[in-house]
Amino acid sequence: MIAIIDYGMGNLHSVSKAVERLGFTAVVTSCEREILAADGAILPGVGAFGDAMAELKATGLLETVRGFARSGKPLLGICLGMQLLFEESEEHGVHQGLALLPGRVVRFRGPFKIPHMGWNRLKFHGSSPLLQGVEEGHVYFVHSYHVLPDHPADLLATTDYHQPVTAIVGRGNVFGMQFHPEKSGVIGMKLLKNFLSLCRESRNIANSR
Protein backbone atom coordinates (compact mmCIF):
# COMPACT_ATOMS: atom_id res chain seq x y z
CA MET A 1 0.00 0.00 0.00
CA ILE A 2 1.38 3.37 -1.05
CA ALA A 3 0.39 6.48 0.87
CA ILE A 4 -0.08 9.63 -1.18
CA ILE A 5 0.33 12.31 1.46
CA ASP A 6 -2.54 14.77 1.41
CA TYR A 7 -1.60 18.07 2.98
CA GLY A 8 -3.91 20.04 0.76
CA MET A 9 -1.54 20.73 -2.11
CA GLY A 10 -0.73 18.66 -5.14
CA ASN A 11 -2.29 16.72 -7.96
CA LEU A 12 -3.25 13.82 -5.73
CA HIS A 13 -5.77 12.28 -8.11
CA SER A 14 -3.36 11.89 -11.03
CA VAL A 15 -0.60 10.46 -8.85
CA SER A 16 -2.87 7.94 -7.16
CA LYS A 17 -4.40 6.87 -10.47
CA ALA A 18 -0.93 6.36 -11.93
CA VAL A 19 0.07 4.21 -8.95
CA GLU A 20 -3.09 2.14 -9.37
CA ARG A 21 -2.50 1.73 -13.10
CA LEU A 22 0.87 0.23 -12.18
CA GLY A 23 -0.86 -2.39 -10.07
CA PHE A 24 -0.36 -1.01 -6.58
CA THR A 25 -2.88 0.18 -4.01
CA ALA A 26 -2.80 3.91 -3.46
CA VAL A 27 -4.36 5.66 -0.52
CA VAL A 28 -4.66 9.43 -0.54
CA THR A 29 -4.42 10.23 3.14
CA SER A 30 -3.59 12.78 5.80
CA CYS A 31 -3.85 10.22 8.57
CA GLU A 32 -0.53 9.70 10.36
CA ARG A 33 -1.23 6.09 11.27
CA GLU A 34 -2.09 5.19 7.68
CA ILE A 35 0.96 6.95 6.30
CA LEU A 36 3.36 5.35 8.75
CA ALA A 37 1.87 1.93 8.01
CA ALA A 38 2.36 2.26 4.25
CA ASP A 39 5.04 0.37 2.31
CA GLY A 40 6.03 3.58 0.56
CA ALA A 41 4.97 7.20 0.57
CA ILE A 42 4.71 9.88 -2.07
CA LEU A 43 4.86 13.56 -1.17
CA PRO A 44 3.27 15.51 -4.02
CA GLY A 45 3.24 19.26 -4.30
CA VAL A 46 2.11 22.07 -6.52
CA GLY A 47 2.24 25.68 -5.42
CA ALA A 48 4.58 27.63 -3.21
CA PHE A 49 7.21 26.28 -0.82
CA GLY A 50 6.28 28.47 2.13
CA ASP A 51 2.59 27.61 1.85
CA ALA A 52 3.40 23.93 1.61
CA MET A 53 5.57 23.98 4.75
CA ALA A 54 2.85 25.91 6.57
CA GLU A 55 0.26 23.32 5.56
CA LEU A 56 2.52 20.45 6.61
CA LYS A 57 2.98 22.07 10.01
CA ALA A 58 -0.69 22.93 10.41
CA THR A 59 -1.81 19.39 9.59
CA GLY A 60 0.84 17.82 11.81
CA LEU A 61 2.17 15.99 8.79
CA LEU A 62 5.61 17.57 9.00
CA GLU A 63 6.62 15.17 11.76
CA THR A 64 4.84 12.32 10.00
CA VAL A 65 6.93 12.80 6.87
CA ARG A 66 10.12 13.00 8.92
CA GLY A 67 9.05 9.90 10.83
CA PHE A 68 8.37 8.06 7.60
CA ALA A 69 11.80 8.97 6.25
CA ARG A 70 13.40 7.66 9.46
CA SER A 71 11.54 4.37 9.08
CA GLY A 72 13.75 3.54 6.11
CA LYS A 73 10.78 2.85 3.85
CA PRO A 74 10.93 4.52 0.42
CA LEU A 75 9.76 8.12 0.21
CA LEU A 76 9.34 9.99 -3.09
CA GLY A 77 8.91 13.75 -3.33
CA ILE A 78 7.42 14.98 -6.61
CA CYS A 79 7.87 18.51 -7.99
CA LEU A 80 7.39 20.86 -5.03
CA GLY A 81 7.47 17.68 -2.92
CA MET A 82 11.06 17.11 -4.03
CA GLN A 83 11.99 20.69 -3.17
CA LEU A 84 10.49 20.30 0.32
CA LEU A 85 12.96 17.49 1.05
CA PHE A 86 15.78 20.04 1.09
CA GLU A 87 16.89 22.57 3.68
CA GLU A 88 15.56 25.86 2.45
CA SER A 89 13.99 27.75 -0.41
CA GLU A 90 14.03 31.37 -1.45
CA GLU A 91 10.52 31.29 -2.91
CA HIS A 92 8.56 34.34 -1.63
CA GLY A 93 11.00 34.83 1.24
CA VAL A 94 13.31 32.34 2.90
CA HIS A 95 11.58 29.20 4.18
CA GLN A 96 12.95 26.11 5.91
CA GLY A 97 12.20 22.74 4.41
CA LEU A 98 12.21 19.20 5.76
CA ALA A 99 16.03 19.08 5.60
CA LEU A 100 16.07 15.37 4.73
CA LEU A 101 18.65 16.13 2.07
CA PRO A 102 21.27 18.90 2.20
CA GLY A 103 20.89 21.71 -0.30
CA ARG A 104 18.66 24.60 -1.17
CA VAL A 105 16.09 25.78 -3.67
CA VAL A 106 16.67 28.87 -5.81
CA ARG A 107 14.81 30.74 -8.51
CA PHE A 108 15.67 30.39 -12.19
CA ARG A 109 17.37 33.59 -13.33
CA GLY A 110 18.19 34.57 -16.88
CA PRO A 111 16.98 35.80 -20.25
CA PHE A 112 14.80 32.78 -20.87
CA LYS A 113 11.20 31.77 -20.25
CA ILE A 114 10.23 31.04 -16.67
CA PRO A 115 8.69 28.66 -15.59
CA HIS A 116 10.70 25.86 -17.12
CA MET A 117 7.65 24.27 -18.64
CA GLY A 118 7.50 21.33 -20.98
CA TRP A 119 9.30 18.16 -21.95
CA ASN A 120 13.03 18.02 -21.38
CA ARG A 121 15.59 15.26 -21.59
CA LEU A 122 17.02 13.42 -18.62
CA LYS A 123 20.72 12.80 -18.22
CA PHE A 124 21.63 10.19 -15.63
CA HIS A 125 24.51 10.48 -13.18
CA GLY A 126 25.62 7.39 -11.38
CA SER A 127 23.40 4.38 -11.00
CA SER A 128 20.40 3.70 -8.84
CA PRO A 129 17.69 1.06 -8.79
CA LEU A 130 15.32 3.94 -9.52
CA LEU A 131 16.92 4.37 -12.97
CA GLN A 132 16.95 0.67 -13.84
CA GLY A 133 15.87 0.11 -17.45
CA VAL A 134 14.85 3.75 -17.94
CA GLU A 135 15.71 5.58 -21.14
CA GLU A 136 17.28 9.06 -20.99
CA GLY A 137 14.25 10.57 -22.67
CA HIS A 138 11.88 13.46 -22.11
CA VAL A 139 9.86 14.03 -18.98
CA TYR A 140 7.49 16.89 -18.12
CA PHE A 141 8.75 19.78 -16.02
CA VAL A 142 6.91 22.80 -14.75
CA HIS A 143 8.73 24.88 -12.15
CA SER A 144 10.18 28.30 -11.54
CA TYR A 145 12.53 27.25 -8.74
CA HIS A 146 15.14 24.51 -8.81
CA VAL A 147 17.24 22.53 -6.38
CA LEU A 148 20.96 22.91 -5.75
CA PRO A 149 21.90 19.76 -3.81
CA ASP A 150 25.02 20.03 -1.63
CA HIS A 151 26.25 16.51 -2.33
CA PRO A 152 26.92 15.44 -5.92
CA ALA A 153 26.29 11.84 -4.88
CA ASP A 154 22.64 12.72 -4.19
CA LEU A 155 22.16 13.91 -7.77
CA LEU A 156 20.86 11.04 -9.88
CA ALA A 157 19.77 12.94 -12.97
CA THR A 158 19.80 16.41 -14.46
CA THR A 159 18.20 18.09 -17.41
CA ASP A 160 19.46 21.04 -19.42
CA TYR A 161 17.63 24.36 -19.28
CA HIS A 162 20.29 26.95 -20.00
CA GLN A 163 22.23 25.22 -17.18
CA PRO A 164 22.18 21.76 -15.63
CA VAL A 165 18.97 21.49 -13.59
CA THR A 166 18.42 18.91 -10.85
CA ALA A 167 15.85 16.40 -12.08
CA ILE A 168 16.17 13.33 -9.84
CA VAL A 169 17.74 13.05 -6.39
CA GLY A 170 18.15 10.10 -4.10
CA ARG A 171 19.92 9.06 -0.96
CA GLY A 172 19.09 5.90 0.92
CA ASN A 173 15.31 5.62 1.02
CA VAL A 174 14.59 9.23 0.12
CA PHE A 175 14.03 10.14 -3.53
CA GLY A 176 12.85 13.15 -5.43
CA MET A 177 11.72 13.95 -8.97
CA GLN A 178 11.42 17.57 -10.04
CA PHE A 179 9.25 16.62 -13.05
CA HIS A 180 5.86 14.93 -12.82
CA PRO A 181 6.38 11.20 -13.46
CA GLU A 182 2.61 10.71 -13.60
CA LYS A 183 2.49 13.21 -16.46
CA SER A 184 5.58 12.06 -18.29
CA GLY A 185 4.31 9.31 -20.54
CA VAL A 186 6.09 5.98 -20.73
CA ILE A 187 9.34 7.13 -19.14
CA GLY A 188 7.56 8.68 -16.21
CA MET A 189 5.54 5.54 -15.62
CA LYS A 190 8.72 3.40 -15.70
CA LEU A 191 10.38 5.61 -13.09
CA LEU A 192 7.29 5.45 -10.93
CA LYS A 193 7.17 1.69 -11.38
CA ASN A 194 10.79 1.39 -10.25
CA PHE A 195 9.99 3.42 -7.14
CA LEU A 196 6.98 1.21 -6.41
CA SER A 197 9.12 -1.92 -6.86
CA LEU A 198 11.48 -0.55 -4.22
CA CYS A 199 8.47 -0.15 -1.92
CA ARG A 200 7.45 -3.76 -2.55
CA GLU A 201 11.00 -5.01 -1.94
CA SER A 202 11.13 -3.01 1.28
CA ARG A 203 7.88 -4.64 2.43
CA ASN A 204 9.10 -8.12 1.48
CA ILE A 205 12.28 -7.60 3.47
CA ALA A 206 10.31 -6.35 6.45
CA ASN A 207 7.90 -9.31 6.26
CA SER A 208 10.69 -11.84 6.12
CA ARG A 209 12.15 -10.59 9.38
- Which residue ranges make up the site for another protein (CB under 8 A)? 11, 13-14, 17-18, 21, 46-48, 112-121, 137-138, 140, 142-144, 160-161, 180, 182-186, 188-189
Q: Closest distance between another protein and the C-beta of residue 19, in Å?
A: 11
| Cβ atoms 50, 145 nearer than 8 A | no
Active-site entry in 91, 95, 180, 199? 180
| Cβ atoms 17, 50 nearer than 8 A | no
Closer residue to another protein (CB): 79 or 198 = 79
Peptide bond into 115 cis (omega under 30): yes
Closer residue to another protein (CB): 12 or 199 = 12
Q: What beta strand segments (E) does the chain contain?
A: 2-5, 26-29, 40-43, 75-78, 88-89, 95-96, 103-107, 116-121, 123-124, 138-143, 145-149, 155-160, 164-171, 174-177
Q: Which of 72, 61, 74 is nearest to 34 (CA)?
A: 61
Q: Name beta bridge partners: 184.
A: none
Q: Closest distance between another protein and the C-beta of residue 131, in Å?
A: 19
Closer residue to another protein (CB): 14 or 71 = 14
Biggest CA pair distance of the chain: 55
Active-site entry in 95, 116, 182, 199? 182
Q: Closest distance between another protein and the C-beta of residue 13, in Å?
A: 4
Active-site entry in 55, 79, 116, 199? 79
CA angle 40, 50, 68 (to 5 degrees): 20
Is 180 marked active-site? Answer: yes
Q: Closest distance between another protein and the C-beta of residue 48, in Å?
A: 6
Is 182 marked active-site? Answer: yes
Closer residue to another protein (CB): 37 or 189 = 189
Instruction: Give the catalytic positions in this structure.
Output: 79, 180, 182
